[in-house]
């Protein structure tokens, strides 16, 4: 159930019966030939698809995250770490005030990992709450499926190329990208990163057949749903 389809009275009634909710978080950043909003699109969609049969409320995705490394790519939006820390804390506080005590944060962007530290500190002050941070694309079953399909996969490669992250009229290269030099990428700023990355794919083919993508999505949705259903305390 999407929060956009609920009013405050419905939330109040729901939380009295079930204190679970989902907060997707993403990023707006370069994804080679895919949408700049790939990370937020995927985080929100996997959360909604996983929660739909359970009736657990899914909040609108937090679109912006920590993407300083891509700041030289036009269209990329990035927050300062200090801003992001406060934002995550404020969102958790808001969910808690609403009565939610079991919160699944579905993350769509690797750069957002500092949120896990913020969540840990927040939980120390809210011992009656339980919060899980779920990096959906690299969760065990989902990542195993990626490796089964094609281990040459990373940021902006085929593994993020779903029908709902492609852009109309934008052709995907038929070639595969050699793996970038991660060490070199880590020691330079955004402008140099852009020069090293080219179009932005880190490794692998740009697109695979839709049958592969739907098979991967089914695993990701099922794995996310399992986290919603159990293992809270």
pLDDT at 131 over 90: yes
233 pLDDT band, cuts 50/70/90, is confident
The confidence score (pLDDT) of residue 178 equals 96
Domains for the chain: give ranges and CATH numbers: 3-229 (3.40.50.10310)
Mean pLDDT of 180-192: 97
Mean pLDDT of 126-155: 98
Mean pLDDT of 209-222: 98
Task: Write the DSSP assignment of the chain as a string of letters.
Answer: -BGGG--HHHHHHHHHH--EEEEEE--B---TTS-TTHHHHHHHHHHHHHHGGGT--BPPPB--B--GGGTTSTT-BB--HHHHHHHHHHHHHHHHHTT--EEEEEE--GGGTHHHHHHHHHHHT-TT-EEEEEEGGGSHHHHHHHHHH-S-B-TTSGGG--TTTS-TT-PPPSSEEPPP-HHHHHTS-HHHHHHHHTTS--SEES---HHHHHHHHHHHHHHHHHHHHS---
- What average pLDDT does the chain have? 97
């Amino acid at each position: 159930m999407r929060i956009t389809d609920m009013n405050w009275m419905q939330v109040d009634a729901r939380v009295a019966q079930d204190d679970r909710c989902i907060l997707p978080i993403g990023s707006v950043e370069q994804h080679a030939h895919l949408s700049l909003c790939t990370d937020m699109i995927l985080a929100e969609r996997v959360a909604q698809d996983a929660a739909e049969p359970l009736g657990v409320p899914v909040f609108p995705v937090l679109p912006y995250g920590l993407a300083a490394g891509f700041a030289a790519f036009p269209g990329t939006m990035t927050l300062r770490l200090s801003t992001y820390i406060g934002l995550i804390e404020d969102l958790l506080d808001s969910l808690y005030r609403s009565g939610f005590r079991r919160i699944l944060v579905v993350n769509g962007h690797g750069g957002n990992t500092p949120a896990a530290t913020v969540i840990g500190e927040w939980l120390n002050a809210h011992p009656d709450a339980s919060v899980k941070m779920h990096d959906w694309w690299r969760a065990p079953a989902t990542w195993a499926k990626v490796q089964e399909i094609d281990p040459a996969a990373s940021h902006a490669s085929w593994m993020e190329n779903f029908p709902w992250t492609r852009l109309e009229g934008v052709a995907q290269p038929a070639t595969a990208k050699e793996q970038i030099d991660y060490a070199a990428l880590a020691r330079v700023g955004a402008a140099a990163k852009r020069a090293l990355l080219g179009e932005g794919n880190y490794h692998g083919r740009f697109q695979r057949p839709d049958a592969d993508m739907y098979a991967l999505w089914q695993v990701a949705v099922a794995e996310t749903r399992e986290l919603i259903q159990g293992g809270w305390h």
